Structures are given as C-alpha cells and as structure tokens.
Amino acid sequence: MKKIICLLAAVIVMAAWGCKSIDMDKAAVIEEKSDHYLRVAEEQAIDYADRAKEKIKEQVKEELAKQDGSAEPGILSGVEDVGLKDLTGAGTDYAFIYDGTPYAAKYTPDNWEITDSYRITNAMDMAIICQALINEHPIHGKDMASFRTCDDMAYEWIQHNVAYSFLPEDSPWIDSVKNVDLDPKDQGKSYRDLYEDRTGKKFDIQSFLDQ
C-alpha cells in the first residue's frame, strides 16, 4: 500500500511538471522523495498522537483532582458519621445523609448501588462511606475469592464520577455512571473502561481533547 502511494505521488508530481513521458530514473528519485515525505508525515502523526495522549493525561489528572476533593478535607471522621440505616430491616434498602443531602444505597448480592453518587466528590469521605457499606455487606473482588476494600471501592467511585463528567447529559448511559454500582466485575476498571462499557463505543481521544 505504501509503495502504491509513493508511485501515485511520483505520477502526480510528473504531471505537475508537464511531462508527457515518464523517465524511470527521475520517477525513482521522485518515489524516493515521496517515500521520505511519507515517513516524515508518519513521524509527525505519531508525534501528534503522543502529544495528544499527554494532553489527555493532564486533563484527566486535573479532573481527578477535582473529583477526589483532594484540595479539601472530608466532613466525615468515621463510619459512625455516615449514619447508614436499614430502612426495612431486610438488609436491602439503606439510606444515609451526607452534607445535608439524603442518599439511597441498595444492596443486592455482591452489589451496592448508591443513587446520585456523582454528587459526592471527596475521596476520603467516599472511602468512609464504602467502609460503612462493607460493614453491612462485604463485596467480593473480581476473583470471587477476595473481598473489596473501602479504598478499592472508592477508586471505582471516582472513576464513575470522571466518566459521568465526560458523558453528555442526553447520553442513554448517564444513569449508569451517575449512580455508582460497586460489584466484583468492575473492580479496578478505569474511567476509560467504564466509558466503553457504558457507551458501547471505543474510547474517543477527540472527545477528551474537545473538553
């Protein structure tokens, strides 16, 4: 394919010179130069991609810094501050109040789901809330032998928040990231993995560059 592109370039250049016949030696020189320019273009494309990746990394770091609330201390000092309550006594429907706002937490086997979890952005408080959930019902890890920790669950929560911040409001997948669901299968997944899982699309670099 590359050879064909070079030959086509040679023909185009020859046509531009007004040549009525192709001098094979001259065509070979042109092909060599075309090959050189093609390599330069490829190198520039790779350089652009590398710079794009670095820009994405910077943007994600900034977003994570905003999402994990690292610049501000948490308002919770321990699980007792969460005030997690079993609403029905069945061990499935729970509620707690965070910063004056009520939240619902639903447990099904090996799954916790927190409604409107995207509103909570402090990483330390996320970990404390997750520990309160673990105290009620631990969740298995991806290997189904270990159990998830509060830090591990808080990491997934942050990834949900980041994915939520990048999805358009009219996305059909917005609800699946605004309400974090903590289960074995999503352990260790990044915001990129969650984006692809929820949208069914390959991670789009441009969508991040346009933010």
Per-residue pLDDT band at 125 (split at 50, 70, 90) = very high
pLDDT in tens, 19-38: 444 455 555 555 565 566 55
* Residue 187 and residue 85 in one domain: yes
State residue 128's pLDDT score: 95
Enclosing domain of residue 191: 79-209
Looking at the predicted structure, is the pLDDT value of residue 44 above 50? yes
* Residue 167 and residue 104 in one domain: yes
Q: In the chain, how many domains are there?
A: 2
- Could you tell me if 65 and 158 are in contact, meaning their C-beta atoms sit under 8 angstroms apart? no
Place of tokens 């020189």: 29
* Residue 29 and residue 99 in one domain: no
Radius of gyration of the chain (CA): 27
* Residue 48 and residue 92 in one domain: no
Measuring CA to CA, which residue among 139, 145, 172, 135 is closest to residue 157?
Answer: 139
Residue 37 and residue 111: Cα distance in Å, rounded? 55
Q: What is the mean pLDDT of residues 152-175?
A: 83
Q: Is 74 inside any structural domain?
A: no
- Could you tell me if 181 and 117 are in contact, meaning their C-beta atoms sit under 8 angstroms apart? no
- Could you tell me if 122 and 131 are in contact, meaning their C-beta atoms sit under 8 angstroms apart? no
Q: Is 48 inside any structural domain?
A: yes
Q: Is 47 inside any structural domain?
A: yes
Type of residue at 34: S
Sheet holding 111-114, edge to edge: 85-86, 93-98, 101-108, 111-114, 181-182
pLDDT in tens, 82-116: 999 999 999 999 999 999 999 999 999 999 999 99
* Residue 151 and residue 49 in one domain: no
Looking at the predicted structure, is the pLDDT value of residue 122 above 80? yes
Looking at the predicted structure, is the pLDDT value of residue 161 above 60? yes
For the chain, what percent of residues have pLDDT higher than 70? 59
* Residue 16 and residue 106 in one domain: no
Averaged pLDDT of the chain: 75
Q: How many CB atoms lie within 10 A of CB 148?
A: 25
Measuring CA to CA, which residue among 176, 181, 156, 155 is closest to residue 164?
Answer: 176
* Residue 54 and residue 90 in one domain: no
* Residue 124 and residue 166 in one domain: yes
